[in-house]
Amino acid sequence: MPTFTSRRRYRAFPKRRARARAAFLLGVALAGSLIAARAAAGPGSGDATLFGPNPVTAGQADEWTLQYRATEAFAPGATIEVEIPPSWSAPQDVDAGAPGYFQVGGDPTIDNVAVVGQTIRLFLAPPFANDSYLWVYYGIGGGGASAHAQTNAQDSVFFQVRSDPQATGTVAPLASSPFLSVIADPVVASVDVVDAANLTVDTLARTTDQDTTHLFLRGYDAYGNPSRLIAADWTLSGGVGAPVPLNGTSTALRLDVPGIGMARAFETDVRAALAGESAAGVGPRAGFFAWVDGAPADGYRAPRVDEASHPAGRRRAQAGRVSIVTGQYGEQVLSPLLPLLRTATETPVRLVPVRNSFFGGNIAVTGLLTGRDVRDALASEPPGERYLLPDVVLSRDRFLDGMAVADLPRPVEVVPTDGASLVDSLR
């Protein structure tokens, strides 16, 4: 572990310059600094603030300033320690052109500075009164002197600060040290196909329907941190089915051989119902609208609607066009069925596809639509039409975001989520 001691009595910056810099730092403190809670007198007293980029990109080279404020008068021989996070540039005050270079400024006189590994140890001399300030400029000067952040993404990275104001010989940590977050670099260096749990998908061996399994193209930065989803064109070879959609950041596999995909099952259900054959719906999980699996019993599998408010099969006795509210995946399967539905039911039918802006536009399943997105889509739709809403979007009569059906700008009819119920609602 590298250890060096710089023995000198100095102020790293003239007092006027230090106070000017202090005024600047205090001015920006309210714009996003992370301030530690004040501690009582004795070892561990004082509070600390960290200025600089936050969040930080993995491996980012920059400058950070740690400010310490005394909450009691310091005695001769008092000590303050600042521990730079592991895997960051080792602090040093010897070479102004090398990474991790730091300087110290503020009100106290510094007897000496010792660096042990990642810890900067400051030995102070009076006067250092209550409400006085000290700054450690880590990575000062930029360029080659910049400090380099760790390369692994992490939510909370602490700059530990300890103090011994009365020179008892024992330093103690402040009640709360400042911290920042390290995030993945948005620049993608590699990609991989992953599932919803962000686990890499290599070989899939399946004999049953897989269009409830979502696949994503995940991008990674140069250090292997998961970065962002990448749009791609998806293909499924071998004539066993198709991915839906064919492009985007994610897809779902529809297997036709062996097994029957949910999209094909929904189509079969609709055709059977139109032909007068038995095609009893089996609920949200089997319906195309759902297209999602493994949801918790208290959410997705919870009762869909209040039956007293939305009895099954209830419809408005008015003529006119019928509009089916659906997600973007639902639009892709329902669109080819519209001519058949219009002819067989003698009803003008159209779709109202809803983009899932709540989740950033990357989720296209109907079952995860929110009331806000449905509301925004219906706001621009004409009044006087029948609007059919699949019950898969509801849990205990409310959308995923807590919004109620009554809050929508157009009256809607909530229908069970299966092909047979859809056909029944159009007749």
What residues are paired with 232 via a beta bridge? 248
| Cβ within 8 Å of residue 203, ≥6 positions away | none
Residue ranges per structural domain of the chain: 3-183, 190-255, 262-426
Residue 302 has pLDDT above 70, yes or no: no
Taking only the tens place, the pLDDT of each residue in 238-279 is 556 678 888 888 888 776 654 445 666 777 788 888 888 765
Residue 5 has pLDDT above 90, yes or no: no
Q: Which helix (H) or strand (E) holds 191?
A: strand 190-194
The answer to which of 83-92, 130-139, 320-329 has the lowest mean pLDDT is 320-329
Shortest CA distance to 5 belongs to which of 138, 174, 121? 121
Q: What is the pLDDT of residue 94?
A: 95
Residue 163 has pLDDT above 80, yes or no: yes
Please give the full DSSP string across 312-347, using - where no structure is assigned: TT------S-EEEEEEHHHHHHHGGGHHHHHHHHT-
| Residue 362 banded pLDDT, cuts 50, 70, 90 | low
| Residue 377 banded pLDDT, cuts 50, 70, 90 | very high
The CATH class that applies to domain 3-183 reads mainly beta
- What's the rounded Cα separation, in Å, for the pair 395 and 306? 9
Please report, rounded to a whole number, the percentage of residues in the chain having pLDDT higher than 70. Answer: 73
Q: What is the pLDDT of residue 47?
A: 95
Q: What is the pLDDT of residue 239?
A: 58
Residue range 361-385: average pLDDT?
85
Q: What is the pLDDT of residue 372?
A: 93
Question: CB–CB of 138/61 below 8 Å?
Answer: no
Q: What is the pLDDT of residue 318?
A: 47
Sign of CA dihedral 390, 395, 397, 399: negative
Taking only the tens place, the pLDDT of each residue in 180-229 is 999 999 999 998 888 888 888 876 665 555 545 688 899 999 999 999 99
Sign of CA dihedral 104, 108, 109, 115: negative
Residue 311 has pLDDT above 90, yes or no: no
Which range scores top for mean pLDDT: 4-8, 300-304, 390-394? 390-394
| Residue 63 banded pLDDT, cuts 50, 70, 90 | very high
Residue 158 has pLDDT above 70, yes or no: yes
Compute the mean pLDDT over every residue in the chain, rounded to the nearest whole number: 78
**The token pair that represents 378 in the structure block:** 């219906």
Residue 277 has a CB neighbour count (10 Å cut-off) of: 11
- What's the rounded Cα separation, in Å, for the pair 182 and 155? 6
Q: What is the pLDDT of residue 416?
A: 84
How far is the CA of 52 from the CAs of 40, 60, 138, in angstroms?
Answer: 27, 12, 10
How far is the CA of 85 from the CAs of 127, 160, 180, in angstroms?
Answer: 30, 8, 11
Q: What is the pLDDT of residue 258?
A: 46
Q: Which helix (H) or strand (E) holds 122?
A: strand 119-125
What residues are paired with 414 via a beta bridge? 389
Q: What is the pLDDT of residue 305?
A: 43
* pTM confidence score: 0.52
Higher pLDDT, 11 or 193: 193
Residue range 46-56: average pLDDT?
96
**The token pair that represents 284 in the structure block:** 């949200």
- What's the rounded Cα separation, in Å, for the pair 290 and 287? 6
Taking only the tens place, the pLDDT of each residue in 14-33 is 443 444 444 444 444 433 33
